[in-house]
Amino acid sequence: MSDFNSGRINDIIINDMVKNTDNRGWLIELFRKDQIENDIFPQMSYISLTYPGIARGPHEHREQTDYFCFLGPSTFRLLLWDTRKNSSTYGNMMILKIGESDPKIVIVPPGVVHAYKNIGEKPGLVINLPNKLYAGWNKKETVDEIRYEGDSNSPFKVD
């Protein structure tokens, strides 16, 4: 599949991150157990710093759901492609501009290819709270990742 249509993708969850500000600074809740389904509840977390102009992905997971938190301090372009043949939005692509000025939580289910690029002028942080352990228990399993970076024939382009 090389042609994608612009449109929403089923099962992508996008939530605003509410910044609670006072004279000490600010606080943002990343997740609450009473607001997340058990099958996507985080099993680990990590934070990554991405330099301006740099992209991460595209890649997808067979089983893992990613729970991304884009809070800044930069702006990101998040690209999503629905490659799930049993999805009613198969063939759709979404592009979001999120981060410091529009902080979002984006939950990406298995089978949705995703990538993000820092389009801001400063390094940016992204937190992920996936529902699977990277490389499984004690890092002894195969990594659940299908990578498309560096594949010149890939239909998933990050500009």
pLDDT tens-digit profile of 54-92? 999 999 999 999 999 999 999 999 999 999 999 999 999
Residue 1 predicted with pLDDT over 90: no
Return the C-alpha torsion angle 141, 60, 131, 21, nearest 10: 140
Whole-number Å distance between alpha carbons of 128 and 62: 17
Structure tokens at 10: 């089923």
- Report pTM: 0.94
114 and 60 Cβ atoms separated by less than 8 Å: yes
pLDDT at 2: 60
Whole-number Å distance between alpha carbons of 137 and 42: 14
Helix/strand/coil percentages in the chain, nearest 5: 5, 45, 50
